A and B are shown apart, each in its own frame.
Chain A
Amino acid sequence: MTALAEGVAGSGSVAPETPVRRGRRGSGAWRYAVLAVLGVYFVVPIAASVWFTIRERDGVSLETYAAIPGAEGFAEAITRSLAIAGLTVVIALVLMVPTVVLVNLRLPRLRTTVELLTLMPLVLPPIALVVGVRSVLAWAPDYFFGTPLAEAFFALQKPSLPWILVFVYVILALPFVYRALDAGVRGADLRTLTEAARNLGASWPRVLVSVVLPVLKTSVLNAAFLTLALVMGEYTIAVILGFETFPTWIVVISGSAPQLSVAVSVLSLVITWLLLLLISALDRRRGTKETS
């Protein structure tokens, strides 16, 4: 394609007529129309939600927001969700950092398989996955009752801290964690660094801790934030398995306190926004460091 373009540009025998871009001058109008219509579409629900939560009979007040921390069940739900998110981040990283490094440095043959498996959760409907998980969990009372395996199954489903959610959320986070880490490994010249460390006598675990992790710091943070955002918003799996997390709590209170549920929704949007701004700030810092 480029060769063709260059060939044409180089053929001076054709009298180069000044390009007249017909229809280009008038094409600004549709652009502004698109921007205006979509701008309204995206701003109105947020503005309306904010207004919905702060209007009172006489003027505005922030009472609804002040009432969030003390709302019934809030502290419990948010603590549980944060605990689940933290555990998910740790397990996802412990699982994926060595895998991504190995696949990039030592096992390139496995790359396609690993990539395919990590991308699956992106398109697989979570509700289908959770129906499958439920079926597996049902084996405990149906087939294994009284065995240690059944005990382990039940231990996974403690309502106070449902470990099964952690394990399934790790699967849901795989696409984001893999891609963030893979980009980091490819961006840094990890092969040279690890070879140098190995030549100096470092063991593989040692290389992982003192060379790979420091190099991947921003990617690791990136992956952690994306996973955090995912877990704090996940509803389908928690509700089908019957656990109460932050999103299911919002739905529970919406019946009795509609203003409160909207306020919490607005707040979670703001927090997602801040998290992603933090990620892009990190990315930009890394970008400038590499070019300098």
Chain B
Amino acid sequence: MLVVLGALPFFLYVAIFLLLPIGVLAVESFRATDPVTFEETWSTASIQAITEGPYRRAYLGSLQLSLITAVLGAVLGLALAVAVLRARRGLLLRRLVLTASGVLANFGGIPLAFAFLATIGSAGVVTALLTDTLGIGLGGFSLFSMAGLALVYLYFLIPLMVLTIIPALEALRPQWREASDNLGASGWQYWRHVGGPVLAPPVIGATMLLFASAFAAYATADALVGASVPLVTLQIANALSGDVVVGSENRGKALALGMVVLVGLVMVFYAWVQRRTQRWLA
């Protein structure tokens, strides 16, 4: 019995600093403050508000950006991982790519935003090179747009994909490839009938992780675009910053709750995919 007490601090800590805030979010999203009397009542006004107008656009913008960057990041990261693992004399290369992935997957947030500002921001080095020296300009590309954000997000999403997918690639047994070669299968047939089906669950799982990180990203977007691109994280920060009307605090909570619910749905799907994986790789 005493042993169970040993695990108590952990559960208490998680209850107070993780579950309580999320629980409060779930409850207080359904509260409303009367603008005149400051009385609090139960209401779905905040929840309703976040499904309309700019908030709806923000959710759609965030979903679109995370979906596109997650899929692109997954495809490019997978290609990079396969290219590195297959390189014949690639031990050094593999080591380099793996360490670099470890660093760059952790290199999110503010420093990343400034690195890109120095590169293709309005005073960036590459911007100057393309416009002044080569005279071709950026061709309408702007760092402070949805496409610009996608370019920056991929900088930490691709390494994240490489890190998460390499164990799965290494688990593909060479015997399977040899067997299918011996049976006369082409490379395409091998990937269509053997490699693909085995790899699909971990690839989908990793893509979900990429989606969740892109969806949650705030620092980079805040430092780069301010509020000019519709994203939920930016709208939440906006709703919380003091100088706005009564009730916007509750709208911020509702927006945050919406994010939690969306990520939760993604995770339920992920758990389902994982259960299917185990059948194959056990």
List the interface of chain A (C-beta within 8 A of B): 1-2, 4-6, 8-9, 16-17, 19, 21-24, 27, 30-31, 34-35, 38, 41-42, 44-46, 48-49, 51-53, 95-96, 98-99, 102-103, 106-107, 110, 114, 117, 120-129, 131-136, 167-168, 170-171, 174, 204, 229-230, 233-236, 239-240, 247, 250-251, 254, 258, 261-262, 264-266, 268-269, 272-273, 276-277, 280
Contact = CB atoms under 8 A, between A and B. Distances in A.
Interface in B46-95: 76, 79-80, 82-84, 86-87, 93
B256 A131 contact: yes
Tier of interface size on chain B:
35 or more
Nearest to A208: B6
Given A22-B186, A128-B256, A131-B256, A276 B99 contact: yes
A45 B22 contact: no
Interface string B84-115: 10110000010000011011101111111011
Interface in B154-191: 154-155, 158, 173, 175-176, 178-179, 181-184, 186-188
Given A38-B158, A102-B6, A127-B233, A258 B123 contact: yes
Contacts of B237: 127, 239-240
Nearest to A249: B110
Contact of A265 (B25, B114, B252, B267): B114
B100 to A, nearest CB: 7
B111 A265 contact: yes
Contacts of B99: 276-277, 280
Given A107-B6, A168-B17, 13 more contacts: A42-B155, A45-B116, A51-B125, A106-B3, A107-B7, A125-B260, A127-B256, A128-B256, A136-B21, A236-B219, A240-B237, A247-B219, A262-B115
Contacts of B263: 123-125
Contacts of B154: 41
A272 B18 CA distance: 27
A103 B7 contact: yes
- The 6 lowest CB-CB distance pairs between A and B, nearest first, are A132-B21, A125-B216, A265-B111, A52-B118, A235-B219, A48-B119
A258 B170 CA distance: 43
A8 B179 CA distance: 7
B81 to A, nearest CB: 10
B118 A23 contact: no
Nearest to B9: A95
Residue from the set B178, B209, B216 with the largest chain A CB neighbour count within 10 Å? B216
Contacts of B86: 31
Contacts of A124: 18, 22, 216, 260, 263
A170 B3 contact: no
Contact of A128 (B79, B173, B257): B257
Given A46-B115, A265-B114, A34 B83 contact: yes
Nearest to B125: A48
A49 B115 CA distance: 5
B103 A129 contact: no
A26 to B, nearest CB: 10
Contact of A136 (B24, B111, B125, B223): B24
A233 B114 CA distance: 13
B70 to A, nearest CB: 13
7 contacts: A38-B76, A41-B155, A128-B22, A131-B240, A136-B20, A204-B6, A233-B106
B141 interface: no
A239 B79 contact: no
B124 interface: yes
A23 B186 CA distance: 8
Contacts of B256: 125, 127-128, 131-132
A52 B107 contact: no
B25 A131 contact: yes
A121 B21 CA distance: 12
A244 B135 CA distance: 42
B147 interface: no
Nearest to A248: B110
Contact of B182 (A16, A35, A48, A262): A16
Given A49-B114, A52-B124, A42 B18 contact: no
Residue from the set A30, A235, A276 with the largest chain B CB neighbour count within 10 Å? A235
Nearest to B127: A48
Contacts of A22: 186-187
Given A126-B216, A131-B240, A107 B4 contact: yes
Contacts of A170: 13, 17
A129 B21 contact: yes
A234 B6 CA distance: 30
Contacts of B87: 31
